[in-house]
Structures are given as C-alpha cells and as structure tokens.
Amino acid sequence: MLFDLRSRGRRRAVQVIYVGLAILMLGGLVLFGVGAGNNNGGLLNAFTNNGSSGGQSAVVNAQTKAALKATEKNPKSTAAWSALVQARFTAAGEGNNFDSTTETYTKDGKKQLQAAANAWIRYLALTNNKPEIDLATLMARAYAALEQYSNEASAWEYVADANPKAASGYLCLAFSAYAAKQNRKGDLASATALALVPKLQKLQIKQELTASKSSATYAQEC
C-alpha cells in the first residue's frame, strides 16, 4: 500500500535502503576513484591492506572525505557533487546523528542533512536543474527532516515530472506544498494524484490531502 511508507518502521526501512543505494552509487567514485582525478585507486586499496573497514561509520566517514576531495579536485563534476549529497545523507543516519528510538535526526544529523542540501544546490546548478530522480527523492526526504517544506516540494516536483503516470510523486508534492503554504501548487498536485490513483483509494487519499492542509506530518512522513 502507498500509505504504508508513512509508518515509522517503514520509513526507517526506506532510509536503510537509501543508505545501501548511496554506498553502491558511491562505489565507482569512492571505491575505485572514478572521476576523482587521481591515481590512488580509491578507498578499495586503502581498506584492502587494513583487514577491516572499522565498521559502517568508518566507511561512511571515509566516503564523505573522498567525496569532498573529489568536489575540490573537480568542482564542475556532477558525479562528484552527487556522491557528496549521498555521502552526507548517509552520514546523517549513522551513529549519534540519528536517534533510532524516536527515529529522528539529532542536531548533528541535521547538520549533515543541511550539508547534503548545500551540495545538492551545487549539483542542481551543474545539471541545469535536471537531477537524477533517485537523488531528488533522497533530497526531498532530507528537506522533510529539516522541515524545509518549500525545498521539499521543489524536490518532489522533479520526481513527479519525471514520473507523470505515478500518483506517489504528485501526492508527496501536494503534502509538501501544503506544508509550505503553497496551496495553489498543492491543489494542482492533488488533482493530478487523485486522477491517477485507483478508484477504491480515492476517498482515503482525498481525506489525507485535506488533512495535510493543516498538518505538516504528511510532508514529514512522505
């Protein structure tokens, strides 16, 4: 079900999936040094001689440092900035940055999310506002956690435009637009979402959309 994603447990599962995706997508840039403009072979060689990665947090820290270095050496590389966005987002969910009991980001975690947002802005400029959709989805959720709903709506707009036949993107766009008090944008997205969902779900979704006009919870849990 579409709305199952808004349960706390399912949201954490989605975050874990994105962590995994971030690690995989960073593989070319970080592990093998692709696009980094150097010949050091990336992190793969660095860890080969250590016998142990030192745990997930150590890997994430190393990925972040490598991504930062790549943006410094290649400031016009979209791949480098994309990798930095993903690394920052992943770091936000690690260790003391994320409270697994309440499933919320701590102050330090939100700093990582804001750093991801800063890298995202650079990335968007380099891509002429034509981002990878997976990255836009990731950033929409980062902005939701930061309660920056206008920016969240903009990120969901990229997702919805790229998948015009999928109701989910328009639904999340509507939720975040309403949270940002952008009611006109929210109404347009709502109408499109309702036109795309199965008939049996229309009443429930309409009720959710109405409720979201007075509660940012829907945007936060999208």
Query: So what's the pLDDT on residue 24?
Result: 41
Tokens read off for 203: 């009443």
Query: So what's the pLDDT on residue 58?
Result: 85
For the cut 80, the answer to whether the pLDDT of residue 121 exceeds it is yes
With bands split at pLDDT 50, 70 and 90, how would you rate the model's confidence at 13?
very low
Tokens read off for 75: 């400031």
In three-state form (DSSP H/G/I as H, E/B as E, the rest C), the secondary structure along the chain is: CHHHHHCHHHHHHHHHHHHHHHHHHHHHHHHCCCCCCCCCCHHHHHHHCCCCCCCHHHHHHHHHHHHHHHHHHCCCCHHHHHHHHHHHHHHHCCHHHEECCCCEECHHHHHHHHHHHHHHHHHHHHCCCCCCHHHHHHHHHHHHHCCCHHHHHHHHHHHHHHCCCCHHHHHHHHHHHHHCCCHHHHHHHHHHHHHHCCHHHHHHHHHHHHHHCCCCHHHHCC
CA torsion through residues 15, 118, 166, 168, sign? positive
pLDDT tens readout for residues 37-77: 333 333 323 323 333 344 677 888 899 999 999 999 999 99
Domain boundaries, the chain: 1-130, 147-222
Query: So what's the pLDDT on residue 39?
Result: 35
Query: So what's the pLDDT on residue 52?
Result: 35
Average pLDDT over residues 9-25: 43
Q: What pTM value is reported for the model? A: 0.76
With bands split at pLDDT 50, 70 and 90, how would you rate the model's confidence at 5?
very low
Q: What percent of the chain has pLDDT over 70?
A: 75
Average pLDDT over residues 174-188: 98
